[in-house]
């Protein structure tokens, strides 16, 4: 059995789901929140300590303002509604990415991080305005005075400092690319590309993936 501490997910396919079922991309974003709640419960049950969710990329700013605002409002509502519950369940929230949203949302994100910072049951990393290349560029900037740079120096200069690399990366939505997500951190991650759109992704899919993962021979270069 392979240990599983950290699961990372590219939650893709909301827009297509929404268009297909309700003729609106945004309705898919709303529906996708149900899958988020299911995954959180799953991680708690399976004692997975870190869950990283790709919620908004640095490239997603290229979307129409209406969709962006809908996503930010959804996030705000979700946090306002659920923060107390998440905190009671001893969940720690951490934002990966630069907080450059409205003042209101930035403050709410700060508040969520501060309020939950001592929790140890599960850490949810929300990748928001996150881009792996930007993250690595920041790390270079931080390290630019150092003469010798080790792999650990780089890891410790990323947003994911102190977070172990994910053992599993899942991307839903029937697309096989990384879209600028955790490029450094997934050097040895097992990757699962799923056909289902994010709102259709269910607990049996997670169970299947985790079961398959536990039987993989992880070589890390050895034989
Ligand atoms: C992923 O779903 C969620 C975000 C990027 C916020 P999409 O909105 O990319 O859904 P598709 O890929 O267009 O269906
Ligand atoms: C990746 O999905 C970003 C998130 C899930 C937040 P996208 O839908 O933005 O990715 P591309 O643009 O199709 O690669
Ligand atoms: Mg997409």
Are 57 and 179 a contacting pair, CB within 8 Å? yes
Ligand 1, atom 12, lies closest to the CA of 13
Q: Which of 170, 199, 222 is nearest to 51 (CA)?
A: 170
Identify each DSSP E strand in the chain by its residue range: 6-10, 50-57, 91-96, 122-130, 168-171, 190-193
Ligand 2, atom 3, lies closest to the CA of 57
- 81 alpha carbon to ligand 3 midpoint, in Å? 26
- For ligand 2, pick from 33, 35, 53, 60 the residue to mutate: most ligand atoms within 8 Å of CB: 60
- 222 alpha carbon to ligand 2 midpoint, in Å? 34
pLDDT at 20: 98
- 97 alpha carbon to ligand 3 midpoint, in Å? 19
- Give the nearest ligand 2 atom to 55 CA: 6
Rounded CA gap, 82 and 150, in Å?
A: 40
- Give the nearest ligand 2 atom to 60 CA: 9
Rounded CA gap, 126 and 130, in Å?
A: 9
Quick one: which ligand is closest to 53's CA?
A: 2
Give all domains of the chain, ordered by start, each with its CATH number: 6-131+169-178+189-214 (3.40.1180.10)
Ligand 2, atom 13, lies closest to the CA of 179
Q: Could you give the strand order of the β-sheet that contains 122-130, starting from the edge strand earlier in sequence? A: 91-96, 122-130, 50-57, 6-10, 168-171, 190-193
Record the pTM: 0.98
Residues of the chain whose pLDDT is less than 70?
none
pLDDT at 1: 87
Rounded CA gap, 16 and 172, in Å?
A: 12
Catalytic residue numbers? 12, 60
First vs last C-alpha separation in the chain: 17
pLDDT single digits (tens) 4-49: 999 999 999 999 999 999 999 999 999 999 999 999 999 999 999 9
Rounded CA gap, 146 and 142, in Å?
A: 9
Ligand 1, atom 1, lies closest to the CA of 12
Beta bridge partners of 54: 10, 127
56 Cβ closer than 6 Å to some ligand 2 atom: yes
Rounded CA gap, 83 and 79, in Å?
A: 5
- Give the nearest ligand 1 atom to 10 CA: 1
């Amino acid at each position: 059995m392979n240990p599983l501490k950290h699961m990372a997910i590219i939650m893709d396919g909301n827009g297509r789901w929404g268009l297909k079922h309700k003729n609106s991309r945004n309705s898919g974003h709303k529906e996708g929140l149900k899958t988020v709640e299911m995954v959180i419960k799953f991680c708690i049950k399976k004692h997975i300590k870190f869950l990283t969710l790709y919620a908004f990329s640095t490239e997603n700013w290229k979307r129409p303002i209406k969709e962006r605002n809908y996503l930010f409002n959804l996030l705000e509502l979700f946090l306002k509604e659920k923060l107390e519950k998440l905190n009671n369940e001893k969940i720690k929230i951490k934002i990966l990415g630069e907080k450059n949203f409205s003042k209101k949302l930035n403050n709410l994100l700060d508040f969520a991080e501060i309020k939950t910072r001592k929790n140890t049951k599960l850490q949810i990393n929300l990748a928001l305005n996150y881009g792996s290349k930007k993250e690595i560029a920041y790390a270079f900037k931080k390290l630019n005075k150092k003469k010798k740079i080790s792999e650990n120096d780089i890891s410790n200069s990323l947003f994911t400092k102190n977070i172990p690399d994910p053992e599993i990366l899942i991307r839903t939505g029937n697309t096989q690319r990384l879209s600028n997500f955790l490029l450094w951190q997934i050097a040895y991650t097992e990757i699962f590309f799923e056909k289902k759109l994010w709102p259709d992704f269910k607990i049996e899919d997670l169970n299947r993936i985790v079961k398959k993962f536990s039987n993989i021979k992880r070589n890390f270069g050895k034989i």
